[in-house]
Amino acid sequence: MANYLITGGAGFIGSHLVHALVARGDQVRVLDNFETGLRKNLDPVRDRIELREVDLADAAAVQQACQGIDYIFHEGALPSVPRSVKEPRPSHEINIGGTFNVLEGARLAKVKRVVYAASSSAYGNQPGFPRVETMSPQPLSPYAVQKLTGEYYMQAYWRVYGLETVCLRYFNIFGARQVPDSPYSGVMARFTLMMMRGDRPAIFGDGEQGRDFTHVDNVVRANLLAIEAPREKAAGQVFNIACGQRHTLNETYALLATFIGFQHPPIYGPEREGDVRDSLADITAASEVLGYVPEVGFEEGLRRTVAWYREEFAGQEKGTQ
């Protein structure tokens, strides 16, 4: 049993980690400012965790929250590429400044290891697939720059202070509890809810852009493995966390529509600013060093996701013909 701090623990990915740790009997402290996280994500475990309403920009509160902690999962962030394009300052402050505060807190509190939610957006639009961690990053959007800066900070804290850090580059994570109705929602959550409500989703561009969509259960597994991986091989390193398969948006749309019973074609609109065209991961390093295997495949992930939204948004389903 160990003491864990999860930043962004009320959010989509963070809350899955909280549930997993509580289930195995670990002590969990959650930080969240509830800007994008939701209290209800923690309801089932509320009496078994310590919850602190803290903004990652509050250095003193973050530092205090690191006291007595063995391991940190740093999931707190202002996600979304388009949000960072529209309003770069808040995402800069949280994604870079907040990450710095977490590292400083971890260093001063002598935390054993920090696992960081990095992003596949670091690769940008350079040629060469699948993406391997040794490629030079080419971030396109403010969000990509911010998440990549966080990686550099993680690596510097390992090199300079000996704080063990592991960066996991997430590739388009989806699953239960992903917010579906914000303008900045991930595509899978957004399409699922819209189709359930009978609304036609919009595809930005021709729909032939590809993503290595990865179910959230795989990410939870990867994080737990990143804590256990040997320091000599994992500390200061970056790992792709994905399925190693590319699916186009058109293909994803069609499959979701089949599962939901939605029979309308998408509306095609202009390409999104700062959008990456294609994304596909090489997951060899995560497999060799962490022992990571994507246990939930794309289709099974979609099935589970649709089932969850059906239950969560019961009564809102209509127009599925």
Query: Catalytic amino acids?
Result: 143
Burial of 52 (0-12, 13-18, 19+ CB in 10 A): middle
Residue 42's contacts (CB-CB under 8 Å, 6 or more residues apart) are 9, 10, 15, 18, 30, 49, 51
Cα–Cα distance for residue pair 115/282, rounded to 1 Å: 20
- Neighbouring C-alpha atoms within 13 Å toward the C-beta of 284: 6
Which residue number, 129 or 161, has a Cβ lying nearer to ligand UD1?
129
CB 149 within 8 A of CB 139: no
Of residues 153, 145, 41, the one with CA closest to residue 102? 153
Cα–Cα distance for residue pair 116/108, rounded to 1 Å: 18
CB 76 within 8 A of CB 8: yes
- Neighbouring C-alpha atoms within 13 Å toward the C-beta of 127: 0
C-beta of 275: minimal distance to ligand UD1 in Å? 5
Which residue number, 65 or 257, has a Cβ lying nearer to ligand UD1?
257
CB 276 within 8 A of CB 157: no
CB 17 within 8 A of CB 73: yes
Which residue number, 28 or 148, has a Cβ lying nearer to ligand UD1?
148
C-beta of 169: minimal distance to ligand UD1 in Å? 7
Taken in order 159, 236, 174, 144, the sign of the CA dihedral is positive
C-beta of 124: minimal distance to ligand UD1 in Å? 8
Which residue number, 29 or 73, has a Cβ lying nearer to ligand UD1?
73
Of residues 74, 79, 77, the one with CA closest to residue 105? 74
Closest residue to ligand UD1 using C-beta atoms: 121
| 8-state DSSP, 273 | T
C-beta of 105: minimal distance to ligand UD1 in Å? 24
C-beta of 230: minimal distance to ligand UD1 in Å? 26
C-beta of 172: minimal distance to ligand UD1 in Å? 5
Which residue number, 83 or 221, has a Cβ lying nearer to ligand UD1?
83
C-beta of 253: minimal distance to ligand UD1 in Å? 9
Binding site for ligand UD1 (CB under 6 A): 79-81, 119-121, 170-172, 186-187, 190, 201-204, 209, 211, 249, 272, 275-276, 279
In angstroms, the first-to-last Cα distance of the chain is 51
Q: What is the DSSP string of 163-225?
A: -EEEEEEE-SEE-TT---SSTT--HHHHHHHHHHHTPPPEEESSS--EE--EEHHHHHHHHHH
